């Protein structure tokens, strides 16, 4: 069997002993799977209700995202206390970890603690990132964007989308509006489509 530590590698092992609450493995050799994407993807996702966020966390992990930042937006329908925000972060990280194991990755994406979108605008420090906000009828398709040289940061709205004020704040923070086609996509569909298209254009899903 193979095991990974979520940090720096994967190893082929054999089971030596299994107990009620633990197991002993013998490490045979280190493996070097080519499952981590060369494209540095950061998804800033408007928090949505129900299982939609779980779907985004799972599929974003499968598509190679390295970091997910859940944000509370003006038109979002979710309200989180500090305690609930911490529990949601733990839950979403668990979803990402499970997806990481299923798809063969060795490094789960980092899931940040939820925060207000405007607070995140004030905290961001990745000045070299290609910053893209998904906006219906933006006029510029994602496929027309030039290939990035560093991190690609996608900003995706919740069920109700972003407010005009948030679009303006995003533009002031260096985000360029792009669209994914002629139809308005649900929040989880938009995030998954954007990541898949980015991997197809610039990452390891290129034909």
Each as own residue / partner, the long-range contacts of residues 180-185 (CB below 8 Å, 24 or more positions apart, any chain) are 180/134, 180/141, 180/142, 181/141, 184/136
- Per DSSP bridges, beta strands 10-18 and 23-31 are antiparallel
Q: Are residue 123 and residue 158 in the same domain, yes or no? A: yes
* Domain assignment present for 207: no
Q: Are residue 51 and residue 96 in the same domain, yes or no? A: yes
Overall domain count for the chain: 2
3-state secondary structure of 121: helix
How distant, in Å, are the alpha carbons of 95, 108, 163 from that of 61? 9, 7, 27
Q: Are residue 93 and residue 12 in the same domain, yes or no? A: no
Q: Are residue 129 and residue 173 in the same domain, yes or no? A: yes
Q: Are residue 39 and residue 21 in the same domain, yes or no? A: no
* Domain assignment present for 194: yes
Band of residue 206 on the pLDDT scale cut at 50, 70, 90? confident
Q: Are residue 7 and residue 62 in the same domain, yes or no? A: no
Dist CA 10 CA 1 (whole Å): 10
Q: Are residue 20 and residue 53 in the same domain, yes or no? A: no
Q: Are residue 2 and residue 93 in the same domain, yes or no? A: no
Above 80 in pLDDT, residue 23?
no
**Mean pLDDT for the stretch of residues 94-110:** 93
Return the C-alpha torsion angle 58, 171, 146, 141, nearest 10: 70
Positive or negative, the Cα torsion across 80, 82, 85, 87? negative
Q: Cβ distance 169 to 124 under 8 Å?
A: no
* Domain assignment present for 18: yes
* Domain assignment present for 83: yes
Q: Are residue 148 and residue 76 in the same domain, yes or no? A: yes
pLDDT digits (tens, 9 = 90+) for 179-189: 999 999 999 99
Q: Are residue 75 and residue 10 in the same domain, yes or no? A: no
Q: Cβ distance 118 to 169 under 8 Å?
A: yes
Q: Which of 21-30, 55-64, 98-107 is the least confident region?
A: 21-30
Domain that holds residue 25: 1-33
Dist CA 141 CA 6 (whole Å): 35
- The two tokens of residue 168 are 């303006």
Whole-number pLDDT of residue 125: 76
pTM: 0.84
Dist CA 137 CA 132 (whole Å): 14
pLDDT digits (tens, 9 = 90+) for 116-169: 999 999 988 777 899 999 999 999 999 999 999 999 999 999 999 999 999 999
Q: Cβ distance 58 to 37 under 8 Å?
A: no
Dist CA 168 CA 175 (whole Å): 9
**Mean pLDDT for the stretch of residues 53-62:** 97
Q: Are residue 54 and residue 10 in the same domain, yes or no? A: no
3-state secondary structure of 30: strand
* Domain assignment present for 124: yes
* Domain assignment present for 164: yes
* Domain assignment present for 140: yes
Q: Are residue 174 and residue 100 in the same domain, yes or no? A: yes
* Domain assignment present for 70: yes
């Amino acid at each position: 069997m193979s095991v990974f530590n979520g940090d720096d590698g994967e190893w082929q092992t054999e089971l030596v002993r299994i107990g009620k609450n633990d197991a002993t493995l013998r490490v045979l050799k280190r493996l070097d799977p080519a499952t981590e994407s060369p494209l540095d993807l950061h998804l800033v996702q408007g928090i949505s209700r129900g299982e939609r966020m779980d779907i985004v966390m799972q599929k974003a992990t499968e598509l190679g995202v390295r970091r997910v930042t859940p944000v509370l937006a003006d038109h979002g329908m979710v309200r989180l206390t500090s305690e609930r925000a911490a529990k949601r972060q733990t839950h979403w990280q668990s979803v990402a970890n499970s997806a990481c194991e299923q798809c063969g990755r060795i490094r789960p994406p980092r899931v940040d603690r939820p925060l207000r979108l405007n607070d995140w605008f004030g905290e961001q420090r990745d000045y070299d990132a290609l910053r893209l906000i998904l906006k219906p009828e933006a006029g510029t398709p994602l496929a027309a964007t030039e290939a990035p040289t560093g991190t690609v940061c996608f900003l995706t709205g919740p069920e109700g989308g972003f407010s005009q004020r948030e679009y303006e704040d995003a533009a002031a923070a260096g985000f360029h509006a792009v669209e994914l086609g002629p139809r308005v996509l649900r929040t989880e569909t938009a995030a998954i489509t954007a990541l898949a298209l980015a991997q197809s254009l610039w990452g390891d899903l290129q034909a």
